[in-house]
Structure 1
Amino acid sequence: MTEPSRPQELPARLLTDPEMIKACRVRDIANVFRLVKVKAGVYPSMIGKRCGLTPSRVGEVMARRRQLQHMDVIERISDGLRIPGHMLGLARRPWETPQALEVTERKAVQEQGQTPQQPATLPGPDVDSILAMATCTSLSPATLEAFRSSIEDYWRRDDQHGGEALRPAIVGQLRYVVGLLKENRPLPIQNGLYSIAAELARLTGWTYFDARQYNQARAYFTQALQLAKEIDDRQFMANVLACMSLQATYQDKPADALAFVSAAQDQARSAPGTTPRVLAMLAMRGAFAHATLGSKDSTHRALGDAYSHFEQIQAGDADPSWVAYFGESKLIVDTGIAHARLGEAATAEPLITDALRREDRTNQRGRAFHSFWLARTQLDQGKLEQACQTATQALEPASAVASERVSGHLTEFYGELAPYRDEPIALAFEAQLRAHLPLVSGSTRP
């Protein structure tokens, strides 16, 4: 019996092409298919055959009449076209041989008589599978704590550097934990694994949201909801819905934002033991949704609810770890941002200024993000020089963290300087903006 033929590898020059790398990173499958056709000679009928798609569906994707977002389809594309998993935000695929590209590219340029230096290698996937079968997979509460500790570390590094470089590791760990769920385990361990998988899915969704890759973010947030629902963790479901509400405000879908946060509050109220800190955070997300809708009275009521819940927090509360970030400084700065969203700049400015003084210096994204909002409130009040100085101070932390959301806000601020473009202080900010964020082109995209 002959073995089934192995799908042909894509040329190394295509896999290292910057356009291909970018298309894979943002999962622009239409462009991926186009590049595979143009630069590798793999036509739509063969793309469909290799990826388990009909030719008509491939044509619709290439014409941008259809999007491919489901993870199982992305995996089939990776496997069928032999696109390394990390390029599409996936774990290393079973067929991958890490040194193959390096050998292909370097063999032809080795000087005669020179002994090639062997690259460090990893075990092949078959070895990984054998070792996995031979390894004891019994888990203990200590193992679960190790998972939770790694998640806390991911969040800390996400605040400091952004999630772009972390995402492959997070996705890999998510897939590993989901794999562990397939085995029968004692109920406390199984429930702990579901909780960890849900948090890893939410974290992955957050990294995509921060990169403004909203479809991918929503897919992972939805997975997090499904995992939390398996163990009826309604507090965590409320947390995920709150994330989806925040994303909807960025997508200019205020009605969706309000619907998500209302559902989040319903989940939290129905959950036993929901803490005041969780309710305060959700009320603040509600304030954001109402402010995006331009509803002043509803925003102020939601802010009042947030403060009312926050005042009920006690030292012994059993807060989930994921809400620990919502302290007094966060309450104050979010209050300022809600007022700023309403156009109440004079009320917002001192609140955001106070919160920035308290900001943890290691939270690079937070410092940049909140400085943007302070600069915006100052500009809304006609304080051009102060606004430009504040925005300039945001550039250093913004350049230290890989966050499309933050760099987009600073570009947005630059767009709002249009009436003052010829002012020396505005020209100085533009020069600093380009120096710190060289990919910024001066566009005014929101």
Structure 2
Amino acid sequence: MARSQTHQALPAELLASAEWQKACRGRDFARIFRLVKVKAGIYPSRIAALCGMTPSRVGEIMAGRRSLAHIDVIERVADGLRIPGAMLGLAHRPWEIPAPTRAEEKQPGPLPPVPDEPQGTEPAEELDDLLALVDGRATRSTLTALHSSVQDYWRRDNAHGGATLRPAVVGHLRYVGRLLKSAEGGLRHDLQGVAAELARLSGWAYFDARQYSTARTYFIQALKLSHAHGDSLFMANVLSCMSLLATYDGNPNDAVTLACRAQDAARAAGEQSLVMSMLHLREAFAHATLRDSHACHQAVDRSRDEYEQSCGREAEAPSWVRYFDETKILVDTGIAYARLGEAARAEPFIAEGLRRESTEQQRGRAFHAYWLASAQLQQGKLDQACTSAGLALDLTTAIDSPRVSGHVRELHRRMLPYARETPVLAFE
């Protein structure tokens, strides 16, 4: 990332100091930030810019009012401040690995990079605009084909991860945006719905790639499009995605607020028990991250109650929530308990969900195998944890999901205290 590339390494004397090394071992980021300020002359506003945070958040961490626990945020701090990964119990960071030496014989030049962020208008996009004029206006057949593409993208996301889908999904979103310019009446209204679906899918693909700022941009676009489309239920769906993103990005209070606001939007749209069941579990995830046991259990209970009311009425629910079945509620309940630290309660839920899950859902199975291993490791069940971790690792090699890969790396770090044990050696 650009912010990492412009920052020089921290002073060697700071990295060698006992105080610094103790702070890193304990992941005491209040002390780490204070030492960076005093010893390296990097002030909170600059720390915030380098680490992708707001200055107020950095100030709260330095004052001890907030902490950092999620691996994604910790990796961002390590990369932003150039803290060697081993000091924080992480794998070697990409910038620590020396570039390969150049061969004497001249090699072919590298291909131009594919931009991750939405870019300005390029000649290719102008050509697309011209070709769109030749194609003519959108028709009902166009809508049918677009809906089919969206369903196929979601299937591929679940099977293989969303990271590699980004160029195709964003391209489709731009194409629909061009169609909207000339569409009118009911067709325009329906195209806005398709655009909202593609924007949410774009946000999800970037979320799965752990590019959270870009994901948030697309989720906001999806929210605006679904508002223009007048679809309160889909707005609730987008808000639930933003809640999960906030949980991963180290903002659990925001995650609770977004999940509750999603529930309000769903209630405004009418009786939809399956949607409400999914939204209550998203709220449970956020409460679990805050270690609020009472609120988490209440949200799980409400989710189960709503799910029971939805039984036999699944066909009435929007297509985008029908994935939320008995298997999904089992495994998500287990994950909420695991996030809360109630590993013994979490394990049977996740194990049963994983047993029921289709083998075609490789990304989901990898994610759930990680959570099963995590719950088993919390209980000291080293043999079972390593077996589950091995399944997660095997599945991860067959998908492209940096989000799931990051979880598996975090699990590996948590196994380091048992590095000499036979099951861990086999996992290595």
Structures share a fold, TM > 0.5?
Answer: yes
- Quickly say closer, same or farther: Cα 1:296–1:371, change in 2 above 3 A: same
- 1:195-234 paired onto structure 2 within 5 Å: 195-234=193-232
TM-superposed CA distance for 1:380, in Å, is 1.0
Structure 1 counterpart of 2:243, one-letter code: S
TM-superposed CA distance for 1:136, in Å, is 2.4
- Quickly say closer, same or farther: Cα 1:179–1:376, change in 2 above 3 A: same
Q: Which residue of 1 aligns with 2:426?
A: 428
TM-superposed CA distance for 1:87, in Å, is 2.8
Structure 2 stretches lacking a partner, 5+ long: 9-44, 53-110
Q: Distance in 2 between matches of 1:177 and 1:31?
A: 36
Q: What is the percent sequence identity of the aligned residues?
A: 49
Q: Distance in 1 between matches of 2:51 and 2:249?
A: 20
What SS is found at the alignment partner of 2:177?
Answer: helix
Q: Distance in 1 between matches of 2:394 and 2:173?
A: 32
Q: Which residue of 1 aligns with 2:383?
A: 385
Q: Distance in 2 between matches of 1:139 and 1:411?
A: 47
Asked if structure 1 preserves the Cα contact closer than 8 Å seen for 2:4 and 2:50, the reply is: no
Structure 1 counterpart of 2:139, one-letter code: L
Moved more, 420-429 or 302-311: 420-429
Report how many residues are paired. 332
Q: Does 1:271 align with 2:269?
A: yes
What SS is found at the alignment partner of 2:258?
Answer: helix
Q: Distance in 2 between matches of 1:29 and 1:183?
A: 40
Asked if structure 2 preserves the Cα contact closer than 8 Å seen for 1:162 and 1:365, the reply is: yes
Asked if structure 2 preserves the Cα contact closer than 8 Å seen for 1:84 and 1:92, the reply is: no
TM-superposed CA distance for 1:416, in Å, is 1.1
Instruction: Write the deviation string for residues 402-441 of structure 1: whole angstroms up to 9, x where unpaired.
Output: 11111111111111112211112112212xxxxxxxxxxx
Of 279, 283, 294, the match for 2:280? 283
What SS is found at the alignment partner of 2:316?
Answer: coil
Q: Which residue of 1 aligns with 2:291?
A: 294
Bigger Rg, structure 1 or 2: 1
- Quickly say closer, same or farther: Cα 1:415–1:170, change in 2 above 3 A: same
Q: Which residue of 1 aligns with 2:337?
A: 339
Asked if structure 1 preserves the Cα contact closer than 8 Å seen for 2:328 and 2:353, the reply is: yes
Structure 2 counterpart of 1:390, one-letter code: S
Q: Distance in 2 between matches of 1:66 and 1:258?
A: 23
Of 377, 399, 423, the match for 2:397? 399
Instruction: Write the deviation string for residues 193-224 of structure 1: whole angstroms up to 9, x where unpaired.
Output: 11111111111111111111110111111110
Q: Which residue of 2 aligns with 1:152?
A: 151
Q: Distance in 2 between matches of 1:168 and 1:31?
A: 25
Q: Distance in 1 between matches of 2:329 and 2:344?
A: 18
Instruction: Write the deviation string for residues 148-181 of structure 1: whole angstroms up to 9, x where unpaired.
Output: 1100100111112222221111101101111111
- 1:247-326 paired onto structure 2 within 5 Å: 247-272=245-270, 274-313=271-310, 314-315=312-313, 317-326=315-324
What SS is found at the alignment partner of 1:181?
Answer: helix
Q: Scaled by the length of structure 2, what TM-score is found?
A: 0.72
Q: Scaled by the length of structure 1, what TM-score is found?
A: 0.69
- Quickly say closer, same or farther: Cα 1:132–1:277, change in 2 above 3 A: same
Q: Distance in 1 between matches of 2:417 and 2:166?
A: 39
CA RMSD of aligned residues (A): 2.7
TM-superposed CA distance for 1:243, in Å, is 0.6
Q: Distance in 1 between matches of 2:158 and 2:314?
A: 27
TM-superposed CA distance for 1:376, in Å, is 0.9
Asked if structure 1 preserves the Cα contact closer than 8 Å seen for 2:129 and 2:178, the reply is: no
Higher relative contact order (CA 8 A, sep 6+): 2
Asked if structure 2 preserves the Cα contact closer than 8 Å seen for 1:85 and 1:92, the reply is: no
